Structure formats: structure tokens, C-alpha cells
Amino acid sequence: MTGTDNKRRKLVLIGNGMAGVNVLEQVLKLTNTFEITVYGEEPYPNYNRIQLSYVLEGSKTIDDIILNSREWYEENGIALHTGTKIERIDTAAKKIYTEGGDAADYDVLIIATGSKPFVLPIPGADKKGVIGFRDIADCEAMIDAAGRVKQAAVIGGGLLGLEAAKGLVQLGMETTVIHLMDTLMERQLDDTAAGMLKAELERQGIKFRMGTKTVEVLGGTEVSGLRFADGEELDAQLVVMSAGIIPNTALAKASGIETGRGIKVNDYMLTSAPDVYAVGECCEHRGVCYGLVAPLFEQGAVLAKTIAGVNTAPYEGSSVSTKLKISGIDVFSAGEYQNAPDHQVLRIHDDWRGIYKKVLLREKKIVGAVMYGDVNDAPLLTRLVREGGMMTDELYGELFGGGTGCCGGGGGSKPSAVQGMADEEIVCGCNGVTKGDIVRVIREDGLSTVDEIKFKTGATRSCGGCKPLVEQLLQFVLGSEYQDKKETKQGICGCTTCSREEIVAAIQEKHLTSVKEVMMVLGWQQPDGCSKCRPALNYYLGMAWPSEYEDDRNSRFVNERLHANIQKDGTYSVIPRMYGGVTTSEQLRQIADAADKYGAKMVKVTGGQRIDLLGIEKQHLPAIWAELGMPSGYGYAKALRTVKTCVGNRFCRFGTQDSIGMGVLLEQKFERLWMPAKFKMAVNGCPRNCAESGTKDLGIVGNDGGWEVYVGGNGGIKMKEAELLCKVKGDEELVDICGAFIQYYRETGNYAERTSDWLERIGLEQVRKFVIEDMDNRKALIDRVETALAQLQDPWREIIESGKLRNDYFQRIEVTQD
């Protein structure tokens, strides 16, 4: 349906990556006349693909690289469909069709389907264990493989291949990079810089086979190695294909849209179909397909203005420069980088300090540059290459002379280079942020840290390569008021410089009782906060004033508001609580009936001993909960998720303690109590550990003499074995210690900090002192957790408060059914 004057036009984005969503961010700043819908094949909101290597090596989680949370889409009125593939576009009827058969209308359509890895057309390339490196699923596959196999091969010595190799080495794998050419990154670096890079990566543990052609993947159904053109073989149980990328044009081709190497577009990013645009790695402009980030955002700026009806200059192509960080090493190139007979070559090469700089001239005009190690002059050289600047004695002294440059101090800032930049010059190519944008927010908003600039403008948010330049601009604008980043206090997010401790202290000392009040009193930079600080403030307020604070539902994530986990296809996962993993035939019938009635796509037993109903539509959530008549299992919450139990001495011939009874008691006591992060428990009836207490936030193991209490375990991405906190004899003391531990974690943990990280930060001995050894403090913690528990609206609590703490569970489960 075509939009009319009194109806918002329908803007549909196919592809939920960095290029497409950046267009939407700019459109939202220009107009509010669109009803926006986004379709992405992956089960995640928009994330920073550039930082996938950090997820692979384990230094970041998936949540850490999310650029636009699900809350951002919701707050901006964007309908997000993750895990949804678009199969066809009817450009005449202006409709799109999903793989599942659903259809949707559009007035304006943007195709941003990105690229896909080039898979070598060799025998065995389809074997299990051969993967690319383009998305989170690839990362997860490599992490999984690292736990099973020890030898990996990466085909391709470009940026992605080297980052994959670094991550695999960090995971403990013996990793070899196979590259067809004799030098690494031959499209960005000259022989000297490439040689320095290779030597450093070898020191980091990566092996190389240069000038080697792979001709076959060996193995049966699973890969076992590679065969090369010279007949030699290499053992490998994991092969990462990273030999290049190709634009993803399949959808455009299937829909009759003109393609070449990519989807062909004009200078306003319009395809051959009316009102259908393309942007990013999938498109071809004037015969060129760009694979670097900066050109994609330059395209996006033109496209956003075009569809918003704002006058804009056409996109005429990008002057490509490359500034990258590879395995912690900075490299840069712009323009011509290989020596030619008509070049005048200016260079510095310092192996001791690991620094290399080369500038190429043609008749004194700067036509190219390469740098390794120290890339402070990258912005200046990018501009000079783009503008064809002339080399002068003064400029030579700035680039190659003493002082703060690459020869005279290494890594110092160059205010003169920043000062010479034009206001319209791009500082952050990933997000299209100019020098003028940054200078304006520093002056107008009184910003003093890089994080504040990131929050306001997006600069440094993606690859982070522009961070040194942003710091230089900060120093240039603030002058003597500038504080080095190391001395600048970091807040819980870019909205504030206040730490968690300062925020909690202010809440208690000033008796602040609302999210808005905290932001106002503590001088939030962003009046409405962000999706990182609002939930944190909501938690801290509830923890500080359990009897008087009214929960701010608008500060909760969508999963918590709907009591269900959103899935990649936009449906929800419903998990009713089963105390201690025990259920009844009546509950099972209720679950089965609800699953049938509301069309659950899958019914799955979870690792936490519950039943998960997957594929429930959003509109059916209130009805299915009412029909189940069971409390939520909080599978989405920063709260107690599960208490896993073995059968204990009720049935097991090895059991020494009633693990089921204790597990049910603890779960019923502490459910619904909000915590800094998700919290998992387990109770074992004997040291055989069938309930896996050793990887839980709070694990309890029964023995002949009583109970052992373990804390700080984590069975997720950052695996950590729980540590022994104490041993106790009686049940009541065990419950008290659990309550005191939980409350101490609630009061001292950072928001979203799991107990494994919290325990590592504050130390086990400090926990023992406050929870075990200091009886007065333990009692105070128990009193405070009981106060918090007393505020919970929970009709099931009467079972615990009746005093029948050790009654037979099966009698209690009958009572709860009444």
C-alpha cells in the first residue's frame, strides 16, 4: 500500500547490520514520517561485526558488541524481526515475502544484505568443520570446536583471517594461516609492513604457510586436514575459510533487480527498481564494491537524506584508506602503497620500537602512505593523499622530524595535525562523525571524556580505531583543562561519570527514590539515560529501598516486562517454574494443553530441569500464563533462574541429604528477588555432584556431616569453577548463609556483574569475613534480605512461612496445587 499524506510511509530494511541500521539512525534524526520495519537473518539485534574477534578470543561477550539493543528498536517504534530471511521482493506490487511465507508492504525498501565469505571451490569444502568468519554463529562454532579439537587452519591472510587466527590461538588451538600470496594483507600493506606484521604475529603464536595454494579439504564427513598444490598436507580438525568476501546479491537476483558483482546503484543508492535502494557491502557503485566500513557510512549518509527528502550531494565514491588494529597492532595505508619507478620514497624503519612509516611522492605530490606501529599521523596523511597535498620542508619535519612524532616520543598526540583538519573532515569513518561534530559537543555540552563523546556522537563506538584522534581533539579543545584518560573517572555508562558506589551512596544519603530523581541530582549528561544505566538505577533503587520503591517497568528490558524471552523469529519462550525440577502429572497436562492451544513450535526440557514452550506469539503471552496457572520461571530475569537438584536421599542409594526438599525450599524462598545479574543454584544430595553444583553461582553439596557451600561458579562463556565458601551442619544455618551471601552480592555487585566476576573482584576472603565469620554482619545481611523478601507479591510464600520447612515435598506440592 502506498503511503498517503495522512499516513506514515512504510520503510522496510532488509538486513540488520551496521550499514543498514546506520541509515535508520540518520533517518530518525531527519524525519519521523516513516513506519519502520527491519528484517534480519541472525537472531541478534544490530551488533559490531568488527569486534567479532574479541568475542572469539573471550575478551568480550555478545552483549558487549551489541550496537543497538532491542530496547532501542522498541523506543524508536521500529518493528524488528530477527531470525527472518526474506526470500523474494515483488517490486511491482511493493511487497516482500519471507521464507516462512509471510508478506509485508513497503513504500521505500532498503537492501543491506552485506556480503558472505568466499568459499574456495575445492573438493571437501562442504565438510563438517569448515566454516567462515562473518557472524556470531561462526564465532560460536569456533569456540565449540576449541573445546573438542586442537589444530586449526585459517585459509587467507587478510584482516579477517588474521583476526580469526588470533582468536583461535587465544582459545588454545595450534593455528596455521595458509596464504596464497608471499606477503600478508597485500592489498593494504607493502612488503616491509607485512613482514613486520607477520613477525609479530608469529611471536604471538600463529604459524604461517605463505605462497601456498590449498587444493583439497581432507577427511570423511568431518575435516581432518588440508592438501596443498605442492602435495604436502596439514592436520587440522577446524578450517576457517577467510579468502575474501563476495556481495550477497541472491535476493536482488531472485527479485529481478539488476546486479553485476554487487547490486547496481546510482549516485543516490537507488537500484534498478523504483523506491528500492541498496547500501553497504552488497551494492556496486560505479563498478566498485566496498568492503571497508567508512565508505558504507558515506553511502548511508546520502541514502538517509535521499529517502527523508533532504537535499544532498550525490555519492561519488570513496577515497579508501585503511586504519586497522590487528591482534593489538596498528596499521594504516592510504592511496598507493607499493613502490613504483616514478615514486620518491620517504621512510622510517625502526625494528627496535616496531615502527615503520613510508610516504610516497610523485613530483612532490603525496600519493600514498603506509604506517605500522605508530599511526598518529593517519588523519593527516589520509587528507593529504585525498587532496593531493604537496610535500614541504615544514610538513616533512612534522612527519619525520623529532618531537612527538613516530621518531621522537612514540604515541604522543599532535595537536598541530588536529588543528589543521577541516571541520567537515571525517574523524570516525565507521559512523560518519566529523571533526566539527566532536568539537561542537565538547564545547556545547561540556564533555571531558572520550566515553561522553562516544555516547553523544557515536565516534569510537565501532572499530575504535579513531579513539587516539578523538583524544587529540579533546586535548586540543580543552587545552589546559584536559585530563588524561587514565586520570579521568569512568562512570557506569556514557551518561555519567558516577561510579556504582557513588550512585548507591547518593541514593542512600540523599534518599533518592526514582530513576529521574537520581539522574537529575547526579547531573546525568543524557536526561533520559540509556538502556545501560536505566535498568541499573532501577535495580539500585529497589535494592536500597525495598519497602518503598515502586519498580519502574519502563526501565526494564522487554523480556522482563513480558515475562518471556524473545526469540530470533520475534516469538517468545515461556518457561513456567518447576521448583527443584520437580513437577506433577497435573502440571504436565496443563503445560501440554497450553502448548497445543497456543501453537508452541517446540516443547523442550531445559538444562535447569524445567519445560520451555518455544514459539509463542506476543499477543498470547497474558493468556498462556493465565491458563498455565504456574509462576514464571524467570528465564529472562536478573534474579534466581533455577535451583537444579538430584533426587537425593529420597530415592538414590548414594544420597546422604534431602537435596530435593532443600532445593525447593531455597527456590521458593528466593524466587522473584532481583539481583545484579542472573543467578543459578544447585543442590546435590551427595558428593557425586549429579546436579553440577560446581558451576553455579551458589552450589550446595550434601554429605554425611551436613552441607558444603560453593560460590562464584559459571558454566557460560567465561567458565569458572565454584570455590568452597564454608561447611555447615544444620539446614537452618544453611538457609541463613545462602540468604546472607545473596544479600551481600546484591549490595556490592555491579549491575550485570555475575558472581564469578564479582568474587574475582572483591575476593573470597572478604566474602567469608562478611558472610561467615562476622556473626553480627551476617545477621544484618539476613535481616535486610528478609525485608526485601517481605515486599515480594508472592502467594506461594505462605508455604515457606507456615514453618513446615522440612515437610515431605510431595505433600507440599499438593498444597500448592490447591
In the annotated binding site for [4Fe-4S] cluster, the residues are: 646, 652, 686, 690
Known binding-site residues for siroheme equal 690
- What is the torsional sign of CA 301, 306, 310, 315? positive
Q: 179: helix, coil or strand? A: coil
Q: How many C-beta neighbours within 10 Å does residue 52 have?
A: 24
> What is the DSSP secondary-structure string of 387-421?
HTPBP-HHHHHHHHSSSSSTTTTSS---HHHHHTS
> What is the DSSP secondary-structure string of 770-783?
IIII-HHHHHHHHH
SS percent in the chain: helix, strand, coil, step 5: 35, 20, 40
Four-point Cα dihedral 415, 418, 419, 422, nearest 10: 180
Are the beta carbons of 116 and 134 closer than 8 angstroms? yes
C-alpha to C-alpha distance for 767 and 361, rounded to whole angstroms: 64
Closest CA to 693 of 652, 668, 721: 721
Phi-psi region of 803 (alpha: psi -120 to 50; beta: other; left: phi over 0): left
Closest CA to 472 of 543, 424, 419, 527: 419
Known binding-site residues equal 646, 652, 686, 690
Separation of CA 433 from chain center:
22
Q: 650: helix, coil or strand? A: helix
- Close Cβ partners of 390 (under 8 Å, ≥ 6 residues apart): 364, 365, 366
Position 651: which residue type? F
User: What angle is formed at CA 255 by the lines to CA 11 and CA 279, rounded to 5 degrees?
Assistant: 50
Total residues found in the chain within this entry: 818
C-alpha to C-alpha distance for 632 and 405, rounded to whole angstroms: 61
